[in-house]
Each structure stands twice: as structure tokens, then as C-alpha cells.
Amino acid sequence: MIEQYIQKKQNQINDQFEKEFSNLDLPSHLHEALVYSIQAGGKRLRPILMMASFEAFSKDLNKVIHPALALEMIHTYSLIHDDLPAMDDDDFRRGQETIHKKFDEATAILVGDGLLTYSFQFVVNSNALEAEEKIYTIQQLSQSSGFKGMISGQFLDLQAENKEMNEQELHHIHLLKTGELIRASIKIGAYLGGAAPPQIEALDEFGKYLGLVFQIQDDILDVSGEMELIGKPVGSDEENNKSTYPELLGLDQAISIKEEYMEYAKEKYDEANIDEPILLGLLNIFGNRNA
Amino acid sequence: MIEQYIQKKQNQINDQFEKEFSNLDLPSHLHEALVYSIQAGGKRLRPILMMASFEAFSKDLNKVIHPALALEMIHTYSLIHDDLPAMDDDDFRRGQETIHKKFDEATAILVGDGLLTYSFQFVVNSNALEAEEKIYTIQQLSQSSGFKGMISGQFLDLQAENKEMNEQELHHIHLLKTGELIRASIKIGAYLGGAAPPQIEALDEFGKYLGLVFQIQDDILDVSGEMELIGKPVGSDEENNKSTYPELLGLDQAISIKEEYMEYAKEKYDEANIDEPILLGLLNIFGNRNA
């Protein structure tokens, strides 16, 4: 059931992207790179999370689709820039060549810049949102992906290469680099759906633990996964000398921390006082995925 | 008088930037690079233009200062990314080392990304703007700096290296690469000041010609200026084999086109039916500056 839900939402998101981007009148190579970047097989977990959080409170998905796509654009831009030679220097992503490899570095920088800018343009021009909804969405998106969120996370992550980190530092980077944007997806979904402030707060905490679960599982997959499943060379973090939970604490301990966080997330879900099994299903998927 | 106006506004903008950025709690190297980038001696022409356009209709500058700073952040981000080795590969800007040279490429990419994101965050969190004013400002900023504006301009500009361009193509790149953001400054200023739609329209056209004047003068300076005045090696466009008006049409013809556009701009100013000599003063400064 959860797999069907994900599949259905993925199709919906991909169709909407197709609709939004296929007719954009841009210089042809730029357009080609943009379409390639956005269709490069992402799992769409963040927008799906936003939609599931929204559906805990309301069923008119029309309101959440633009913010969900905007969030995925921000996620996509961050991957494009993180993969650049000056950053993590990855040639493959999801089993496909990264933009700077398939096209060139300048195009990758510009497509990333353009996606980030377009995400805000997309929300602000949405005809399904009230003024205050646009404002809340842009506040959450810009804060979570900004200097004090994702940008600091990526900066600290780069600085930490070839350096010993302790568990606390690693935790901090995880919260910033992937956690903030995941929290924003959940909060925006809940707010747009009409959640009460204490519910948004509880779901924000749910999102925090879910983000940690996601990242630890990413690290676990990096040491134990198979190339064809995760679409990038296994052990690429180790190659970059990045600290990970399995490396710091051993694989068993990493798994046990992940499970602890999954428990915390469930408690926060209960606090939110909602009945949306999809959210719990997504938590399980995040924590147990093999790709 | 116009010089005093510019000086006063520059101080105001720099003070405000100092206030906004000095206490931002960020990883220290990231913070240092951010502060360096924003204090690197810009002339602040775009925010000043926004403020002057605003002052043609209203005197309470409180309303325009956040959008003006946001616009300068976008301009600054675009310079940081344009200077990267994969783009224009410039080691100096305004007589100082560019960010990737002074720090490193990864930091330059992240500071640029962060400034772009922060510009929207800054507007959306401004306590001086009504909801509709935030929305208009973000619409204009994201559109002018987005895929169909500045991004396409920079993309086409890079593609045009080592290629013969005709006057029409060059004109098109100018309109996108620098023109759109300059038009946005003028439009946002006028809107926030309370201009009527036909006035905004006339000033938008004023901004279009002013942007062209600015860019042609930039090209003229690039062939005829002195390094210490413009802060980058003279003839650096030629080194990159970029087409310019002086190169395409000769210096005299380029000057005469610039003067023609200055006339058009004055006509549009008259159409706007306002009395703001500062705007005309800025046009003259843009067209006759030697740096």
C-alpha cells in the first residue's frame, strides 16, 4: 500500500514537472540540462513527505503541489552543486552522469542557480495559494536551505573531509545538511493542510528524527549497499574521507542509533494526534530502504 | 549633489549590510567569506536606483531598504558565480581578489548560493512590508534573476565566447544579463513607493534603456579604461574573446548608440510624469562613469 502511494505520488510529481518544464522557452542547451537534471530519477521523497503531511489534515492536493515541486527543485539544485568538482566531485548520481559531467561545469552551476531561483518564483506565482501561504512556504524554504541550514551543513561537511569528527559534530552536520529541508517539507505540508501550531511543532520534531534516520541509513548503505542499488560507487564517502556513523561507531551501533531515532519519531507522531499511517509508512521506508 | 546623494545612500546600504551580517552566527570561515563578498567595494548602483525610484513617489525609505539590500545580494551572488574558473574565470573584481581566489571555489559556490537564498528570506521576513509587497518584490526579483532573465543572459554570454555575434544577439544578451535586474530595481522601487501602473510601465522602459547604457559603457570602459579605475584588467573581455559594442561597431559608433539610448531613457522618464531629478542624474552617471 505504501509502495503504491509512493508510486502514485512520484507519477504525479513527474507529470507536473514535465508540464512545467517541457515548454519553458530557454536556450536549447540550458533547457536540455534543466530537464535532464529534474528527470534524473530522483525518488521524490521530500515532496512526497510534504504531501503526506498535508494529507493528514486536508485532501485538496492542489494547494500543496507547487510547494512540493519547489522543495524538490531546491533539493535538486543542492545535489547539482554538491556534485561539482570543487565540492564532492561526483561523476555519477542515481546511476546517471551528473550535470557537470554530462554537460559542463558552467552549465551545472547555472542550472543549479536557476532551479533555486525558480523554486521561489514558482511558489510566489502559484495561483492555488493565499498570500500568507506563499509567505510561510517561502520562509520555511529559504530558512531551511539557507546560510543557517543546508549551506552551513554542506560547508561543515566539506571542512570535515580528512578530519576526525566526533559523534556530536556529525550529528550537527546531519541536522543541517539534510535535516532542515526534510523538516521544512513536513512543516509546510502540515501548515498548508491547516494543522494547529502544536501539531506543526510535534511534526517538526517527527521530521527532525526522520531526517536523522534518513541520513544514518544513507551512511549505512554507503558501506553495505550495492552499487547498482544506490547508483553511486559504494564507499564513496570513505574515498572522500568523510566521517559516517558506521565508521565512527561501527555498523551495529549505527543501526541501533537509527532504530532509537525511529522510536523517537513515532513518539512525536503520536503527539501530533493525527491519523495518517502513510507518514509512519514513510518513516519505515526511510529507515529500511536499500537504495 | 548627485554625488552626495550616491555617497549618502552607499553609506546607508553599507551600514545596513554591516548590521545584518556582522552578527550572523555561521561557521567562521563561511562568515568571513560572506562578509568579504558583500563588503568588497561595490558601487551599490542597483539598490540606489531602487531607492531613487521609490523616492519619486514616497519618502519613507524604511519600506525599500530590505528589497534594496536583497537585490544587491542577488547582484553579488551573480558576480561571485560569474567569476568562477568554470565561468568567466576572473581573479580580480573591483581591485580585490575574487572569493574563489581569496578563499576557495567551494566557498565561493556556497556563499553565492547562500546570498541568493538569503535575498528571498530577507524580503519575506521584512517587518516593513505588507504581504502583497513581499509578493511583488519576490516576483520581480526571482523573474529578473531567473532562468528567463539573468541565467539565460549569462548562459548565452558564455556560449558566445570565441564566436562572432551580431549586434542583435549582443543586444539580447545585454537585456537579459544586466538589463533585467536593473529593470527590476526600478519597478520594485516605483511599486513600493505607490506608483500607478502606467508610471511603473514607463519607468520599466526607462530602466531597460538605462541598463543598456550601463552595459555599453561597461564595454567602452573595458577597451578604454584604466586598470586602477575599473579594478579589473583592461581588455579582459577581449581576452575571453567576448563580443562587445566597441569591437563590433567601433568605439565611436558604440558611444553614439549609448547616447541614443540615453535619449530614449529620458523620453520614458518624461512619460512617467514624475519629478525626481536624481533618476536622471543616475542615468548620466551610468552613461558617463569612468569606473
- Segment A52-68 mean pLDDT: 96
> In this predicted model, what pLDDT tens digit does every residue of B48-60 receive, in sequence order?
999 999 999 999 9
B105 touches chain A (CB under 8 A): yes
Identify the closest residue of chain A to B136 by CA–CA distance: A124
CA distance to partner chain A, nearest, from residue B284 (Å): 32
CA distance to partner chain A, nearest, from residue B241 (Å): 17
A158 touches chain B (CB under 8 A): yes
Place of cell 543557517: A148
Amino acid occupying residue B34: L
CA distance to partner chain B, nearest, from residue A273 (Å): 30
B32 touches chain A (CB under 8 A): no
Return the higher-pLDDT residue of A195 and B242.
A195
Of B105, B143, B151, the CB nearest to A110: B151
A131 touches chain B (CB under 8 A): yes
**What is residue A161's predicted lDDT score, i.e. its pLDDT?**
83
Identify the closest residue of chain B to A121 by CA–CA distance: B142
A189 touches chain B (CB under 8 A): no
Percent of chain B with pLDDT over 90: 80
CA distance A81 to B109: 8
> In this predicted model, what pLDDT tens digit does every residue of A181-212 receive, in sequence order?
999 999 999 999 999 999 999 999 999 999 99
CA distance to partner chain A, nearest, from residue B27 (Å): 7
H helix or E strand, kind and range, residue A96 = strand A96-97
Q: Is the pLDDT of residue B101 over 70?
A: yes
Cα separation of the two ends of chain B: 19
B161 touches chain A (CB under 8 A): no
pLDDT-derived band at A265 (thresholds 50, 70, 90) equals very high
Q: What is the mean pLDDT of chain B?
A: 92
**CB atoms A159 and B34 under 8 Å:** no
Domain count along chain B? 1
- Alpha helices by DSSP H, B175-276: 180-193, 197-224, 227-230, 236-239, 245-249, 251-272
Q: Is the pLDDT of residue A4 over 90?
A: yes
Q: What is the mean pLDDT of chain A?
A: 92
B185 touches chain A (CB under 8 A): no
- Segment A86-109 mean pLDDT: 95
CA distance B263 to B265: 5
A30 touches chain B (CB under 8 A): yes
Q: Are A200 and A206 in contact (CB under 8 A)?
A: no
Q: Is the pLDDT of residue A237 over 70?
A: no
ipTM: 0.94
Q: Is the pLDDT of residue B16 over 50?
A: yes
Residues of B in contact with A145 (CB under 8 A): 117
Identify the closest residue of chain B to A34 by CA–CA distance: B147
- Segment A41-62 mean pLDDT: 94
Domain that holds residue B71: 2-288
**CB atoms B109 and A86 under 8 Å:** yes
Q: How many CB atoms lie within 10 A of CB A107?
A: 24
Residue B100 is placed in which grid cell?
Answer: 574563489
CATH code: domain of residue B22: 1.10.600.10
pLDDT-derived band at B224 (thresholds 50, 70, 90) equals confident
B107 touches chain A (CB under 8 A): yes
**CB atoms B110 and A84 under 8 Å:** no
A110 touches chain B (CB under 8 A): yes
Q: Is the pLDDT of residue A230 over 60?
A: no
pLDDT-derived band at B243 (thresholds 50, 70, 90) equals confident
What would the 3-class secondary structure string for chain B be? CHHHHHHHHHHHHHHHHHHHHCCCCCCHHHHHHHHHHHCCCCCCHHHHHHHHHHHCCCCCCHHHHHHHHHHHHHHHHHHHHHCCCCCCCCCEECCEECHHHHCCHHHHHHHHHHHHHHHHHHHHCCCCCCHHHHHHHHHHHHHHHCHHHHHHHHHHHHHCCCCCCCHHHHHHHHHHHHHHHHHHHHHHHHHHHCCCHHHHHHHHHHHHHHHHHHHHHHHHHHHHCCHHHHCCCCCHHHHCCCCCHHHHHCHHHHHHHHHHHHHHHHHHHHHHCCCCHHHHHHHHHHHHCCC
Q: Is the pLDDT of residue A177 over 60?
A: yes
**CB atoms A110 and B24 under 8 Å:** no
**CB atoms B30 and A158 under 8 Å:** no
CA distance B210 to B258: 9
pLDDT-derived band at A137 (thresholds 50, 70, 90) equals very high
**CB atoms B81 and A109 under 8 Å:** yes
Return the higher-pLDDT residue of A141 and B163.
A141
**What is residue A239's predicted lDDT score, i.e. its pLDDT?**
57
Which residue of B147, B158, B240 is the best one to mutate when testing the A interface, meaning the one whose CB has the most A CBs within 10 A? Answer: B147
CA distance to partner chain A, nearest, from residue B260 (Å): 29
- Segment A255-260 mean pLDDT: 96
CA distance to partner chain A, nearest, from residue B95 (Å): 24
Of B81, B135, B152, the CB nearest to A124: B135
Return the higher-pLDDT residue of B179 and B41.
B179
**CB atoms B146 and A105 under 8 Å:** no
